[in-house]
Amino acid sequence: QAKSQGRGRHVFFDVDLRERMQRRLQLEQDLRDAARNEQLAVVYQPIVDLRTSRVVSVEALLRWAHPVHGAISPSEFIPLAEESDLINLLGGHVLRTTTEQVSGLRARVGPDCNLAVNLSPRQLDDPRLVPAVQDVLRTTGLSPSTLCLEITENALMRDPSIAAETLSALRELGVRLAIDDFGTGYSSLAQLRRLPIDQLKIDRSFVAALGECRDAEEIVRSIIMMAHAVNLTVVAEGVENARQLDVLRHLECDQVQGFHIGRPTAPENLVTTG
Ligand code: C2E
Ligand code: MG
Ligand code: MG
Ligand code: MG
């Protein structure tokens, strides 16, 4: 009984694995054509300042409408793209699209609205990144300090010296830098402090536990205090209800982002809350 069950599970696993590998291969191929075939779109999620209650920034999030599989999450296709040079293609696409849409965004949200764009670990290693950023700044006339590039902790830990060099070069262009999903990696604030960053984004796993778990509140409190001590702005990600918002306000978090504030939406559907 145990033996046949074990074998059954083994077969099931193989089929499952083969299907997943096939889907991956197929998606990777499809992704190469997606940008050209206009299947990629950028949506924007508002980031609100807690003191003024105004939208101070919008984060660009990539969406893929696959002709067969429908909407595919960036959590699935970004890691796929990361495995090859494809990510640099996608990254360039996002950078160009968003910086071109900025004046339209500002017409809706407000003239001071900043733009946040995610960078993948692999883009940080690409020598073409800094020239590409410089290029979009020049061609769009976007004021560099209104562009914030988000980098996950893990990206920095891959090769800290390359990352530090790239970040410094980006910073010299005048753009701002944020650490995304803070708290999910293994970096300490002491390590991050040596990098030329402006902002910490607290991962939504911590925010989700706010108001439910005393420890979460203490963790978030200490992240905010430490970040402020080294002059970093703090954004809380994934704010889903009023209670979390209250706690964050009480903890003197600077900015908030999440479904409770506003969902990621197409640029033409963005509205001002200010
Ligand atoms: P991220 O940069 O941390 O972006 C925030 C993610 O949390 C987004 O997921 C957003 O839709 C989601 N989110 C926002 N508020 C809430 C909330 O209240 N509750 C919950 N449960 N989720 C919330 P999304 O759009 O699926 O993107 C996932 C990740 O994919 C992003 O995480 C980012 O790491 C990556 N990504 C998305 N677009 C790009 C891109 O253009 N380039 C790169 N390199 N990565 C991207
Ligand atoms: Mg982000
Ligand atoms: Mg994040
Ligand atoms: Mg995330």
Structure tokens at 214: 């005393």
Whether 115 contacts 60, CB under 8 Å? yes
Atom of ligand 1 nearest to the CA of 180: 3
Report whether 200 contacts 182 (CB < 8 A). Answer: yes
How far is the centre of ligand 3, averaged over its atoms, from the C-alpha of 75 (Å)?
11
User: Residues lining ligand 1, judged by CB closer than 6 Å?
Assistant: 45, 60-62, 73-75, 78, 94, 118-120, 150, 180-181, 204, 237-240, 258-259, 264
Q: What token pair was written down for 168?
A: 């410094």
Q: Are 160 and 192 in contact (CB under 8 A)?
A: no
DSSP per position, 151-212: EEHHHHHHSHHHHHHHHHHHHHHT-EEEEEEETSSS--HHHHHTS---EEEE-HHHHHTTTT
Identify which ligand lies nearest to the alpha carbon of 61. 1
Q: What is the pLDDT of residue 274?
A: 47
- 1 C-alpha to center of ligand 3: Å? 46
Measured CA to CA, the distance from residue 96 to residue 92 in angstroms comes to 6
CA dihedral 240, 66, 105, 139 (to 10 degrees): 130
Q: Which two tokens stand for residue 2?
A: 């145990």
Distance from Cα 69 to the centre of ligand 4, integer Å: 23
Residue 138, SS3 per DSSP? helix
Encoded tokens for 58: 């919008």
Question: CA gyration radius for the chain?
Answer: 20
Q: Cβ(184)–Cβ(153) under 8 Å? A: yes
Per-residue confidence of the chain (274 residues) as pLDDT tens digits?
Answer: 444 455 555 556 677 888 888 888 888 999 999 988 899 999 999 999 999 999 999 999 999 999 999 999 999 999 999 988 899 999 999 999 999 999 999 999 999 999 999 999 999 989 999 999 999 999 999 999 999 999 998 888 888 888 899 999 999 999 999 999 998 887 777 778 888 999 999 999 999 999 888 899 999 999 999 999 999 999 999 999 999 999 999 999 999 999 999 999 999 998 865 4
Q: Could you give the C-alpha distances from 111 to 54, 117, 133, 150, 215, in angstroms and in order?
A: 12, 18, 21, 21, 39
Nearest CA to ligand 1 atom 46: 118
The pick from 40, 48, 61, 265 for probing ligand 1's pocket by mutation, whose C-beta has the most ligand atoms within 8 angstroms, reads 61
- Ligand lying nearest the CA atom of residue 47: 1
SS3 content of the chain, % helix, strand, coil (to 5): 55, 20, 25
Who surrounds ion ligand 2 at CB < 5 A?
A: 118, 150, 180
Q: What is the pLDDT of residue 13?
A: 63
Q: Which atom belonging to ligand 1 lies closest to the Cα atom of 181?
A: 3
Instruction: Cite the beta strand spans of 211-271 per DSSP E.
Output: 233-236, 255-256
Q: How far is the CA of 75 from the centre of ligand 2 (A)?
A: 11
pTM of the entire predicted model:
0.93
Give nearest CA residue, ligand 1 atom 41. 62
Q: Which amino acid is at 19?
A: E
Question: Which tokens in the block code for residue 201?
Answer: 């984004």
